Amino acid sequence: MTANKQSNAKRMKWAVDFTNRNRTDLPSPPGYCPSNNSVQSDVTNQTDSNLLIKKCWEVALAPIKQVPMNIVIMYMAGNSISIFPIMMVGMLIVRPFKALFTLSSSFKMIEGHNVLGQKCIYLIGNIVNIILALYKCQSMGLLPSHSSDWLSFVLPQTRIEYSAGGVLFS
Amino acid sequence: MLKYLLLAVLCIAQTHSLYEDQVGKFDWKQSYVGKLKFSHIDSRANIKRIYVASEDNAVASLSLGSGTLLWRQVLEKGPQGAIVYFHYGANSLVTVSFNGLIRVWNPNDGSLLAGWTLPLNIRHVKFMVDGGNFYAIEVSSAIKTVLVHTYKLASGSLNDVVKKIPATWLTESTYCETNQNVLACLVQGSVKILFPSSGGQTQILEQSVPSATFLTPVSSAIGLPSFKAGNVVITVNNKNIETSQIECNSVHVDKTEDTNKVLAICVRPLSKSNIEVDIFISQQKISSNNLQLKTQIAQSDINVQSCFCKGSSPSCFCILSSQDHTTLFISTQGKVVWIREEALTSIISAEFLDLPVSDVDAAIEKEFDNQECGYFEMFTRRLMSQFYQIQTLLSIESPAFKSSALVRDKFGLHKLILSVTSVGKVFAMDNLSGKILWTLYLANVTPYSVTGKQFAPVFVQRSTRYVPYPAQVSILFKQSTSKEGVLFTLDPITGQLIHGDQGQKLGYQVELSTLLPGVNKNHLRGILLLDSNNQIHLEPPSSPVPKPYFIYKVHPQFGVLTGYFVQEDLKLQKVWELNFGQPVVHVASKNPVEKVHSQGRVLYDRSVLYKYLNPNLIAVATHTPDNVFSIHLVDVVSGNLVESIIHKRTMGPFHMVHSENWLVYVYFNEKTRRNEVSTVEMFEGKTQSNSTAFSSLSKSLFKPILDKQSYILPVSQVDAIKETITEKGITSKHILIALGTGSILEMPWMFLDPRRPAQVTPDMREEGQVVLEYTPELPILSEAIINYNQTLYGIKNIHTAPSGLESTCFVFAHGLDLFYTRVAPSKTFDILKEDFDYALICLVLGALIVGTVVSKKLASRKTLKQAWK
Amino acid sequence: MAEIKIQISRFAGKINMSSFIYQIESLFGTLLLLFLVQTCQGAYEIKLLHYLDDSNFSTTRGVVEVHNVDSNDVTFRQHPLNPGDIKQLKALAEKDAFYRMDIVIQQTNKKDIVLSTYAKACSMVESKLHDSFNVYLDHNNNVVGISLLPYENLCSGKHVTDADLAAFRSKMYFYAPENGPVPDTLSYIQKIEREREAREKGGPKDNRSFLQKYWMYLVPLAIFLAVSGAANPDAQSGGGGGGAR
Amino acid sequence: MNYYLSLVTIVISLHVVRSQEVDSTQEKHDIEGRVLAPTHDPSWISSTQVYIRGGQFIGFLKDDGSFTIKNVPTGSYVLEVVNPDYQFDPIRVEINSKGKFRARKVDYIQLSKITPLPYPLRLKTIGKIKYFQTREQWRATDLLFNPMVLMMVAPLFLIMILPRLMNDPETRKEMEQLQSMTKLDVPEMSEMLTSYFGGAPKKPKAAVKPKPSASKLQAGSSSG
């Protein structure tokens, strides 16, 4: 706390030093024209929407682009169950799910634009990734898809008839 | 080849092996010799020792002070190796076995000095050793002569011409005995004493003993060969006969040092734990002492084996052996020096029992005892018990700590081994130390016999879990005289008999007995007894009988199996009968406490093959005189023969283990002259018809899938086999095989699995399961020998029991040696390793924490610096 | 049969060693054996008795003539149940009691073997007296056990008319024991032999080029490099952006 | 039929009994041999026995390691040396009716394979029996070459050392060149799609105003 205060005080000292200077008196850097600013914005406004859509497509295509990469990673990880392959597979599964849940926030920047197509592609890409991850799980034997996976939940049979006996004593 | 061997070694290394520093940590071995037959105390040597020969064909040397075994040699098994003569003298021990072998042993280390065969029929020959010569004395009533054959002890060469002593007095009924260098014969009321080893004319002494009907040699000091004829003790002292009349069954004759008078020591039991030792000099009782024993012995008879005396007011030390196979070493001053419980070589039943909870835990359990009380009362109880806990923690003198020796531990690794012996002696041992906690002698009882093995059923009716009630165990014996059943009920923790010393006499001959599965309101499991009239008796009489209940009987001689249904009125209704027409050698049913966790077996393609877990299935082994060995799998409820498997040209000994859904049996193949192990595994198939309940009656049409395989067991003899058992049945099973050479081999079921493929394909391996390719010969790996270099002689049986830990199984093997250990077939997965380094993990954790703190500091400093750039 | 002959030859081997008397004796035994081999295919009879109440009195159900065990060739001669019997059987079924049977195997010149079996009376009734017998034999073809298996294994409580319970319809199957497994040393020795030969020859030489051998490792590596190269600029730009801020 | 068969069995079993009786009155033989000392400690002699049929016949050793198994009837036996610490190979000894001995190696798998051994027997140990596992020793190299440790160390190396290398301006330049080359090779997919979809609405809409987030994005992309 005290340290904080000290640093605060220091900063204050600093700030005082800074504000003492008159900023408005400073000349503009060479090549900078404050009046030019609005003109430039007009020029960019035309390409802005195109850029935005391009960015949008970039975001939408990202999952699809990941697919070959993921395939390679999966191939490299192998089917043996050990800590690194499991971690990789876990990442593969969790990432697309996360992406799906944050779908709306990913496309937030382009409000008002019709981004349904992009969203669809994004969705499909992530689903492909999930399917891929599930396939990996399946081939690693992590999915409880066989009867053997439920074997330990099978309870022992209760006996209906009771029996006892043995060799006669002599 | 090497590849498979390597794989096998790998598997063993994975499953079980001991580290060298763990020797004696989990196991103990006790060595015995059996009931004493002959003994000799060597008091003159610098190292005082006792030399003994036993009924179990063992020759051994014991230390005089402690009774520990110095060396032991075990002769041939069975009656062929029975020791009929024993002599100690001139730095050699001589034994004569029933098979005619004379062996001379080095008394220092038990190595053989000489061994040769007596070319005579041993049955009618008496022996004696005198001055480097071995005398075989043939008493022939047919030619009225005593023939004395003399041999060199060291080589067995005939030393002299056969000496013939004419004895016209010999008759058919003449009974002769040797003691030291004297032969005594009882002839119609008189005892004739001969000296066969002395040269020249043979002198014959005579003593009339009118009332004598028997003649026994008596333990005596050197130079005082003595015999007991009736009540008269005859002592040959320097070729003179001295007699003394002592009313005592068992005596020792010695002489006093100064007066050279004949001294007699007489021992008689007063009660089960009390004996009296009297010393007589010239028939005058000069001292009498009462000895309190820490064990219970048979009251009937006690035998003075040998003694040695010193001092003028004689003080003697004696070895006694009682009818219940106990060997005692006492001083006549009234002190028991040591006791050896040799009855432990004849264990017929053993049981692992839980110990009671500690007093603190008992108080907690009492707290939750009855639920009816109100909240306030429960709260006060809680406070009280916690106060009590604190109190016990603080004060060492608290009563809770006094009984702490015999309490249950957290992992259930501390148990009590209750063993019943064929002589009627019951022992309770601590499984961790092997210490005997209490002994109990049950008089006038004999064990039952089942397929040639002695057997006394032990029923654990109530464990220690039901705190207000004590644990209860019953042992069933039959009376020696009437053959009727006697039930001894006792508290296994204290060894107190509940129905008194004589037990509960049942008044009928018991044909069959079993422990009922249900408990009565006192948490007591009932015993069902079947008498020879097919009448059911329950003990206690109100015990609940489960319904429907079936009972089967096996008549071993004729191979007849009969099944009965228990009706409402507890009458038996015969429902099925099988007739094998061959003698039954073995019946294997499943261990009733066994639990099976996995209901199926996962195949390599990840499908499930469900196990055929029929609780009513037994395996009956029959053997015909033409050497055909058959295994019949019988459902004892429906009377169906599930399968019969025959092995032609096989011989015993047969051993069989039946557990879960499989069967393992060992036999000797006469054709190929090797021991073979066959395994049978039963499966229901890929689907389960009824996954919740098993009914033999509704399944009578069903035939399980049987997988069979056979392996070569490259050992010369198997003494016993047993499977490991764990509490929940999750741990994989191993088979313990007691080999004739004295080792116990732990064989993983994986090796015996009948589904071992002929060729392992890569996709079988991929599943992560260890699949072993079929090899006909099983590996005998020294790492799998659980008793390592502690050879166990003559293993009779192995007992296994689950511990409180799922991974761990107790093993108790008995024979001439007792051996206890614990095994973990799937390694100790539920407990930290013995060598777990607590310090290291603390160090690493500490270092990590420090590292994080430091690096955090450093990182923040760096970001600050970076911000300044 | 072959087994018996082997035994004969085995004992014939012993004869040479032992005395003349044994020779004569075993010769007699051999002759007897050969004689038996010819004649012992004879048929036998199985008598069926049943208990229609909980008492210990049985009544005759019928007789089975066994002609040939191997081909399950049997003839049943069973008495039809009279109305009184049917009533008793139904009473047993209602009590959930057992329908018990005694089976007497009558062979000429041999002691009768008495065996028993049972089934639930209700399943007997519900299967309309339609049942089968499993007869278990030992290695000498002696009958060891018989079990009675009604057609309907479980009782569902369905109604059966008396007419359905008039006559038995039975079948009989014979089960011989199985020969136990023997260690399979032959194929093991062959396998070892094969392996040894293969080792001696030395495995087939791998003459493929480096690329041919390891393409499966190289191709993924190449793809990986290409893909990471494609993805890298983005990552680089992101990283650069982060660094600038 | 069964009657006859059982009669046959009786006849056969009678033979068996007879032959066994013959065996019991047969000549008994002594198997002789010597166990060569596996160790210098003389106590091995008393702890070693030679067993036939798991102790039905026993040979005890004399001081020089020699033994005699007495009174063995003719037949084929497997002879085992029992010692708790040293292992010996079992030997098959065959005694024929003439009293001739033949010793060979025990082979349970190939019964017809005969590897003769000298008689009287000379038994040599094949080594000390290893009952115990050896405890793993902690070694630094083991830890270093542990794949887990390697996998942890390698990224650490990449993170810590590579940026240092990158600081070198020349390598940096090279890297950048490399990157620009690869960048040129692969056409940007998003650009293609934008041009494809964005081709129709080429005209910028007036309503669209530059939002702060958009401008930020722009700045980010331009900086790269």
**How many domains would you assign to chain B?**
2
- Taking Cα atoms as reference points, which of B240, B239, B235 lies closest to residue B263? B235
pLDDT in tens, B816-857: 999 999 999 888 888 887 778 889 999 999 999 999 999 999
- Is residue A78 assigned to a domain? yes
B595 against B160, higher pLDDT: B595
C139/B678 Cβ within 8 A: no
A3 confidence band (pLDDT: 50, 70, 90): very low
Contact B622, B554 (CB under 8 A): no
Q: Is D2 near chain C, with CB under 8 Å?
A: yes
Q: Is the pLDDT of residue D142 over 80?
A: no
**Which range has the worst mean pLDDT, B373-382, B721-730, C73-82, C160-169?**
B373-382
What pLDDT, on a 0 to 100 scale, did the predictor assign at position C224?
75
Interface test with A, best of D193, D209, D211 (most A CBs within 10 A): D193
Q: What's the pLDDT at D20?
A: 39
Q: Dump the DSSP string for B379-411.
A: HHHHHHHHHHHHHHHH-TTSHHHHTGGG---TT
3 state DSSP class of B718: strand
Q: Calculate mean pLDDT across residues B442-455.
A: 91
The ipTM of this complex is 0.77
DSSP C27-57: HHHHHHHHHHHHHTT--EEEEEEEESSSSS-
Is there a contact between D3 and C14 if contact means CB atoms under 8 Å apart? no
- Residue B425 included in any domain: no
Residue found by looking up tokens 């002994």 in the block: B439
- Preceding omega of A63 cis (within 30 degrees of 0): no
Q: What is the CA radius of gyration of chain B?
A: 33
> Which chain D residues in 8-67 lie under 8 Å from chain B, judged by CB atoms?
9, 12-13, 16, 42-43, 45-47, 49, 51-58, 60-63, 67
B216-236 mean pLDDT: 86
Does the beta-carbon distance from A76 to C220 stay under 8 Å? yes
D167 to chain C, any CB pair closer than 8 A? The answer is: no
Q: How many CA atoms lie within 13 A of B58 on its CB side?
A: 24
Q: Could you tell me which of B349, B415, B343 has the C-alpha nearest to residue B798?
A: B349
Per this entry, what is the length of chain A? 170
State yes or no: pLDDT of B607 exceeds 60.
yes
pLDDT at C38: 41
The residue of chain D nearest to residue C105, with distances taken between CA atoms, is D2
Token representation of residue B709: 């395989």
Chain B nearest CA to A91, separation (Å) = 24
Mean pLDDT over B295-310 rounds to 85
pLDDT band at D218 (very low <50, low <70, confident <90, very high): very low
Residue from the list B80, B101, B740 with its beta carbon closest to the beta carbon of D54: B740
Q: How confident is the model at residue C145 (pLDDT cuts 50, 70, 90)?
A: very high
Residues 145-164 of D with CB under 8 A from A: 148, 151
The pLDDT assigned to B563 comes to 95
pLDDT in the model for residue B348: 94
pLDDT the model gives residue B437: 92
Residue D17: is its pLDDT beyond 80? no
The total number of residues written for chain C in this structure: 245
Instruction: Choose between B213 and B656: higher pLDDT.
Output: B656
- Residue A31: pLDDT band by 50, 70, 90 thresholds? low
Contacts of B among chains (3+ CB pairs under 8 A)? A, C, D
Model confidence band, residue B187 (pLDDT cutoffs 50, 70, 90): confident
Q: Kindly report the pTM of this predicted structure.
A: 0.82
Cis peptide before B548 (omega within 30 of 0): yes
Instruction: Please spell the DSSP secondary structure of C184-214, one letter per residue.
Output: -HHHHHHHHHHHHHHHHH-PPP----HHHHH
For the residues B55-66, what does the mean pLDDT come to?
92
Contact C236 D1 (CB under 8 A): no
Evaluate whether residue A56 is within a structural domain: yes
pLDDT cut 70: percent of chain B above it: 93
**Chain centroid to CA D124: how far?**
27
Q: By mean pLDDT, which of A80-84, B338-342, B839-843, D57-61 is the weakest?
A: A80-84
β-strand B705-713 against B425-430: which pairing, if any?
unpaired
Asked if D12 lies within 8 A of C39 by C-beta distance, the reply is no
Pick C233 or A49 by higher pLDDT.
A49
C-alpha to C-alpha distance for C47 and C66, rounded to whole angstroms: 11
**Residue D197 — pLDDT band, cuts 50, 70, 90?**
low
Say whether pLDDT at C208 is over 70. Answer: no
Chain A residues whose beta carbon lies within 8 Å of the beta carbon of residue D208: 45, 48-49, 112
Q: Are D38 and D47 in contact (CB under 8 A)?
A: no
Q: Looking at the partner chain, which of C7, C36, C233 has a beta carbon nearest the beta carbon of D12? A: C7
Examine residue D118 and say whether the peptide bond preceding it is cis (omega within 30 degrees of 0): no
Task: Write the DSSP string, C129-197.
Answer: TEEEEEEEE-TTS-EEEEEEEES--S-------GGGGSS-EEEEEEEPPEEPP---HHHHHHHHHHHHH
Which chain A residue is nearest to residue D192, measuring alpha carbons?
Answer: A54
Domain boundary among B341, B375, B402: B402
**What is the distance between the alpha carbons of residues B480 and B457, in angstroms, rounded to a whole number?**
16
What is the model's pLDDT at position C42? 56
Structure token pair of residue B637: 């409820």
Between the alpha carbon of residue C105 and those of residues B640, C86, C137, D199, the distances in Å are 18, 26, 12, 100
| Token representation of residue B356 | 């009671």
Q: How far is CA B357 from the centre of its chain?
A: 28
Residue B855: domain span: 838-869
Share of chain B above pLDDT 90, in %: 45
Alpha helices in D131-211 (DSSP H): 140-144, 147-167, 169-185, 189-198
- CATH architecture for residues D26-126: Sandwich (2.60)
Backbone region of residue B364 per phi and psi (left: phi > 0; alpha: psi in -120 to 50; beta: other values): alpha
Strand order through the sheet with B335-341: B302-310, B315-322, B326-331, B335-341
Convert the pLDDT of each residue in D97-132 to its tens digit: 888 999 999 988 888 888 899 988 999 999 899 888
Q: Is D136 exposed, middle or buried, given 0-12, 13-18 or 19+ CB atoms closer than 10 A?
A: exposed
Give CA–CA dist B579/B556, Å, rounded: 11
Q: Nearest 5°: CA angle at B812, between B501 and B494?
A: 30
Q: Say how far apart CA D192 and CA A50 lie, in whole Å.
A: 12
pLDDT grade for D199, boundaries at 50, 70 and 90: low
Mean pLDDT, chain B, rounded, equals 87
Nearest CA in chain D to C28: D11
**Contacting residues of B for D84, CB less than 8 Å apart:** 789-791
Distance of CA B864 to the CA centre of its chain: 78
Looking at residue D174, what is its pLDDT? 76
Half-sphere exposure of B553 (CA within 13 A, CB side): 24
Q: Which residues are within 8 A (CB) of B102 and not within 5 positions of it... i.e. 6 or more apart?
A: B94, B95, B96, B114, B115, B116, B117, B118, B134, B151, B156
* D224 vs C14, C189, C237: nearest CB: C237
What is the per-residue DSSP string for B651-675?
EEEEEEEEETTEEEEEEEETTTTEE
| pLDDT tens figures, B93-120 | 999 999 889 999 999 888 999 999 988 8
B485-504 as b/e: b if 16+ CB within 10 A = bbbbbbebbebebeeeeebb
Highest-confidence segment of A91-95, B76-80, B453-457: B453-457
**pLDDT recorded at residue B448:** 94
Encoding tokens for residue B782?
């020294």
D4 Cα to chain C: minimum distance (Å) = 7
Instruction: Give tens-digit pLDDT for B464-480.
Output: 888 788 899 999 999 99
The band of D219, judged by pLDDT with boundaries at 50, 70 and 90, is: very low
Q: How far apart are CA D32 and CA B627, in angstroms?
A: 32
* Residue C243 reports pLDDT greater than 80: no
Q: Give the H/E segment covering residue B15.
A: helix B2-15
Strand partners, C134: C147, C173
* CB distance B792 to B4 below 8 Å: no
**How much is the average pLDDT of B16-37?**
87
Q: Do B776 and C183 touch (CB under 8 A)?
A: yes
- Using DSSP's 3-state secondary structure scheme, residue B530 falls into strand
Size of interface A-B (CB pairs under 8 A): 129
Report CA A159 to chain centroid distance, whole Å. 53
Within a domain: B382: yes
pLDDT at D163 over 80: no
Q: Where are the domains of chain D?
A: 26-126, 137-199
The yes-or-no verdict on residue B6 having pLDDT over 80 is no
Higher pLDDT, B854 or B408: B854
∠ CA B84-B85-B91, nearest 5°, is 145
Q: Which long-range contacts (CB under 8 A, 24 or more apart) does B503-506 make?
A: B503/B442, B503/B445, B503/B477, B504/B539, B505/B479, B506/B537
* Rg of chain C in Å (alpha carbons): 37
Instruction: Report helix, strand or coil for C245.
Output: coil
CA dihedral D175, D178, D184, D190 (to 10 degrees): -50
Answer yes or no: are the C-beta atoms of C106 and C43 closer than 8 Å: no
Question: Which residue in the set D189, D197, D221 is minimally distant from A53, CB to CB?
Answer: D197
The chains in contact with chain C, meaning 3 or more Cβ pairs closer than 8 Å, are: A, B, D
Per the listing, tokens 């039959």 go with B478
Q: Are B707 and B754 in contact (CB under 8 A)?
A: yes
- Residue B461: what pLDDT? 93
| φ/ψ of residue A90, rounded to 5 | -60, -45
pLDDT in tens, B511-553: 999 999 988 888 999 999 999 999 999 988 989 999 899 999 9
Q: What is the pLDDT of residue C236?
A: 42
Give residue D1's pLDDT band: very low, low, confident or very high (50, 70, 90).
Answer: very low
The alpha-carbon gap from B11 to the nearest alpha carbon of chain A, in Å, equals 20
- Cβ of A75 under 8 Å from any chain C Cβ? yes
Residues A14 and A16: their CA atoms lie apart, in Å, by 5
> How confident is the model at residue A86, as a pLDDT?
84
pLDDT value of residue B337: 92
- Check CB contact of C218 with chain A, cutoff 8 Å: no
| Chain B neighbors of A154, CB-CB under 8 A | 599-600, 688, 691
pLDDT band at B58 (very low <50, low <70, confident <90, very high): very high
CA gap A151, A154 in Å, rounded: 5
Closest by CA position to A107, among listed A155, A55, A150: A55
- The verdict on whether omega for the bond into residue D38 sits within 30 degrees of 0, i.e. cis, is no
Domain annotation covers residue A110: yes
Residues 776-835 of B with CB under 8 A from C: 776-777
Run of H or E including B505: strand B504-505
What is the pLDDT confidence band of residue B707, given thresholds at 50, 70 and 90? very high
C221 and chain A in contact, CB less than 8 A: no
DSSP 8-state assignment for residue B412: S
pLDDT tens-place string over residues B641-696 = 999 999 999 987 899 999 999 999 999 999 988 999 999 999 998 888 787 888 88
